[in-house]
Amino acid sequence: MIPLLTPPWLKKYRDLGKGVEKFVAYQRDLMPEDRLREVKEMQSAFGAALKARDRAALGELEPKLVKCCETAVPGYQSSPLRENLEVIIVAVIVALGIRAYYLQPFKIPTASMQPTLNGITAQRVEDEKAVPNVAVKGWEYVWRGRNYVDKKIPAEWGEAEFLGYRQRSKANFFTFTDLYFDKGQITVYAPARQLLGELCMDATVRAQSVNIRADDSPGSQMETLRGGFDATGRPRRVRFKGGDVFARGYVDSGDQLLVDKMSYHFRKPSRGEVFVFSTAGITGIVPPPGTKSQHYIKRLVGVPGDRLQVRPPELLVNGAPAVEQGMKNVAGQGPSVTGFPYQGYRTPSPPQPPLVENYVGFLSVEQTDEVTLPAEPGKRGYMAMGDNSPNSFDSRNWGPVPERNLVGPAFVVYWPFKPHWGLIR
């Protein structure tokens, strides 16, 4: 029968029949044999009446069938709470499926894509009065992802020697640093590099923090941080007095976005788009301790077969300045929504030698004439460069991104709301 011409009462009973089939499939393992047999018999009678389109019989069997199902499972109660919990569980399962196959959250850890996308940044505040009240702190955290840090050494410690740190994360998005002293431990909600670098009041600690990983990947053990060496060649110890301010200031969270994991299954990557890729197997990129790879985000500035040259502030693609809007923004050195201008395409500062054997890279404009991306099947490569060109560790150092490493284009920034919320260009 044509669906539009199906009587409402018949559609209702058909839906009930389907619902009973699902109920039996999901709950049969919990039913005693006699109850399962009773449900099957009632279901068979209802199915016969449905096939005969016997409206009267269906009306008589409906409450009996429902009652039979409700009493078939010991302790089963049909309640709004149970139904809502089932809906929530299904929603969680669907969300996990979406994450696995369609969209994946990603957090920008470094400043290599600024000013297009923000990485984690921090600013030290010397004056305690410059730290806002709790209400302002809460608003700034929600609106712009800004977290204030004001951590002192416990007064009862007297004097404490700083031994080292360990970085850890919760839910892959909330990063904490455990600070270890000879008198105890302090935990701060901030990445180690920013906490010990920009925010720490001790200049010696700040100077040593340059060796900390630039991202917020968790560490597996305590890392020592000494203050260099004294005149005798022994490690110089870093000490703090009780009541001293260890660190004060704020940390701005890196942009958190969603990555479209489906598009590259149906189309080729496009030059100029921001994309995410895995670093697995890329020589020259050392993954965080305890992991085999991580994910990077850059702008895709070259596709297989492209010939690329850096001519500051331009990036030449096949002999002509790039025409894609994102790449034009970088080369144009114009303003951005953050108030900081794009710096143009330049060699890394300081210049770094290529880390991949037989890959020339962009060591310097004078030494490197051009790079042509491989286009042979099985060897196709994509050029990844950060919009913060002078301060980006990218394909200029470790070579093209293999096609198998592509994850997908960056889709939308969902938090914080200022300044980059919305679609990524």
Question: pLDDT band at 318, cuts 50/70/90?
Answer: very high
Question: pLDDT band at 87, cuts 50/70/90?
Answer: low
Once rounded to an integer, what is the mean pLDDT over residues 66-78? 72
pLDDT of 330-345, one tens digit each?
A: 999 988 877 788 999 9
pLDDT of 210-225, one tens digit each?
A: 778 777 777 767 787 6
Q: What is the pTM of this model?
A: 0.70
Q: What is the pLDDT of residue 295?
A: 92
Mean pLDDT score of the chain: 83
DSSP, res 161? E
Tell me which range, 89-98, 168-177, 248-257, is most confidently predicted by mean pLDDT: 248-257
Alpha-carbon gap, residue 410 to 187, rounded angstroms:
33
- The identity of residue 111, as a single letter, is A
Cβ–Cβ contacts within 10 Å for residue 290, how many? 10
- The identity of residue 59, as a single letter, is G
Phi-psi region of 277 (alpha: psi -120 to 50; beta: other; left: phi over 0): beta
Please say if the pLDDT value at position 320 is more than 80.
yes
Please say if the pLDDT value at position 5 is more than 70.
no
Of 47-61, 113-127, 204-218, 300-314, give the lowest mean pLDDT range: 204-218
Question: pLDDT band at 80, cuts 50/70/90?
Answer: low
Q: What is the pLDDT of residue 228?
A: 57
- The identity of residue 424, as a single letter, is I
Once rounded to an integer, what is the mean pLDDT over residues 4-12? 74
Of 18-32, 226-240, 248-262, 383-397, give the lowest mean pLDDT range: 226-240
Of 67-81, 345-359, 409-423, give the lowest mean pLDDT range: 345-359
Exposure string over 179-215, b if 16+ CB within 10 A, otherwise e: bbbebeebebebbbbbbbbbbbbbebbbebbeebbbb
Q: Which of 40, 41, 27 is nearest to 74 (CA)?
A: 27
Question: pLDDT band at 2, cuts 50/70/90?
Answer: very low
Of 41-50, 62-71, 244-253, 402-411, give the lowest mean pLDDT range: 62-71
Cα separations in angstroms, 307 against 107, 315, 326, 380, 406: 31, 10, 18, 13, 20
Those residues whose C-beta lies under 8 Å from the C-beta of residue 85, and which sit 6 or more positions away, are none
DSSP, res 409? E
Domains, the chain, ranges and CATH?
Answer: 3-70 (1.20.1270), 103-113+255-423 (2.10.109.10), 121-252 (no CATH)
Of 143-152, 281-290, 400-409, give the lowest mean pLDDT range: 281-290
